Amino acid sequence: MTGKFSEKIIIKDGFIMSVGSIFFGAVIPNATGLIQNSTSDISFLIFSYLYFIASAFFIWFGNRWILIFLQDKVDWLNNPFKKVFYLVTSNIIYTSAVLILFISVWYALILGESIVWQKIHFNILICVICVFFITHIYETFFLIKARETGMLKEEQLERSKIQAELEALKNQIDPHFMFNSLNNLTHLIDVSPPIAKQYVENLADVYRYILRNKDNKLVLLEDEILFLNRYFSLLSLRYSANLNLGIKLTESDYSQYLIPPVSIMIAVENAVKHNEVSEENPLQLDIELNNDNLVISNKIIMKKSVRESSKIGLKNLAERYKIITGREINYNSDNGNFVLLLPMLKLNY
């Protein structure tokens, strides 16, 4: 946040300004002897109070206008001395001019007496001190509101940035998934056209889920597992019994946890991509829940010919998890096993 206000801050102070004008317009002339309460003319006494209340209102309103005018003209943080100089100078000049006018008219035209400059100087001194005090209160209010506005804008910008990053990551998932699916489909068309046809039908169901949840940050674990089963049916059409999935979850687990959509699919896809899946080396994937973490594990069976990886899968998953949940995923490859931990969010009923 900068000290300069890009937008003028509106303050609803009509009531305070009215009460303040009445208070200062009645108290200061009494204290300085401009109003004589000993007079027997009640109507003139009322007129006297109204006259100086009007002068107090002009002083308040004018200095308030100056303050608002300078609000976005001079930056407190970058030019504090310039800001103070402009405010103090403007307050003194304007307040003095209004008081000289009102008090001169009061003496010369209303009372028909000679102007008492000593009283004018005394009233200017007292009023300027009061103006400085009230201006300080206004400035404090403006600075607080500017800080709140700046913090709110920063938060909105941060949310927009996060949303943009999330959209970019989502847009990476779709082509990445489709690219792998088409590779599998190409393989099946060569091997078994009937299975390829079934693969296309299952692919449509899977992609429907991806599109339906494209704008959802979280889904029920139950929905994600149902989707995983559909996705796994695609893999089974290609790998048959060489790829196995073990889901060790209870019924209560399904309905009490939330997870970013397509997270488990990315994990499974990553495992299939980086491990050999064959009759000689079948791949077993296990999914279970441990301490509010979804644990996805498999034995590492490195492919004989390994192509250079773009590393989109887990990196994408880690970034999405961080943005959506604020939590980190963890994975390790100790003792010949690859273990991925996805933090679950408990659903609050």
Whether 166 is in a domain gets the answer no
CA distance 328 to 323: 9
Whether 2 is in a domain gets the answer no
Instruction: Write out the H or E segment, with its range, that includes residue 209.
Output: helix 193-212
Does residue 198 sit in the same domain as residue 332? yes
Whether 177 is in a domain gets the answer no
Does residue 115 sit in the same domain as residue 249? no
Structure tokens at 292: 């509010």
CA distance 331 to 300: 13
Low-confidence ranges of the chain (pLDDT < 70): 1-10, 39-40, 76-77, 150-180, 305-312, 348-349
In the DSSP assignment, the letter for residue 345 is E
Instruction: Single out the residue of 253, 266, 332, 238 nearest to residue 294, CA to CA.
Output: 253
pLDDT at 4: 40
Instruction: Single out the residue of 122, 128, 132, 124 nearest to residue 33, CA to CA.
Output: 122
Does residue 238 sit in the same domain as residue 322? yes
Whether 28 is in a domain gets the answer yes
Whether 163 is in a domain gets the answer no
**How do residues 58-107 score in pLDDT, each as one tens digit?**
999 999 888 888 877 777 667 778 888 888 899 999 999 999 999 999 88
Domain residue limits at 139 = 14-156
Does residue 119 sit in the same domain as residue 259? no
Q: What average pLDDT does the structure give for the chain?
A: 81
pLDDT at 39: 65
Taking phi first (over 0 means left), then psi (-120 to 50 degrees means alpha), and beta for anything else, what does residue 220 get? beta
Question: Which of 109, 133, 156 is at the close of a domain?
Answer: 156
Does residue 149 sit in the same domain as residue 216? no
pLDDT at 342: 95
pLDDT at 1: 34
Does residue 338 sit in the same domain as residue 205? yes
Question: Which of 139, 156, 173 is at the close of a domain?
Answer: 156
The answer to whether 237 touches 188, Cβ cutoff 8 Å, is yes
Does residue 39 sit in the same domain as residue 139? yes
Residue pointed to by tokens 């990315």: 266
CA distance 122 to 115: 13
CA distance 25 to 21: 6
pLDDT at 257: 92
Query: Within a 10 A sphere around the Cβ of 134, how many other Cβ atoms?
Result: 20
Whether 266 is in a domain gets the answer yes
Q: DSSP alpha helices (H): ranges in 110-192?
A: 117-191
Per the structure, the count of domains in the chain is 2
Whether 299 is in a domain gets the answer yes
Does residue 82 sit in the same domain as residue 202? no
CATH code of residue 202: 3.30.565.10
Question: Which of 156, 173, 204 is at the close of a domain?
Answer: 156
Whether 127 is in a domain gets the answer yes
Distance of CA 177 to the CA centre of its chain: 31
Does residue 89 sit in the same domain as residue 201? no
pLDDT at 244: 93
Does residue 51 sit in the same domain as residue 129? yes
Does residue 200 sit in the same domain as residue 134? no
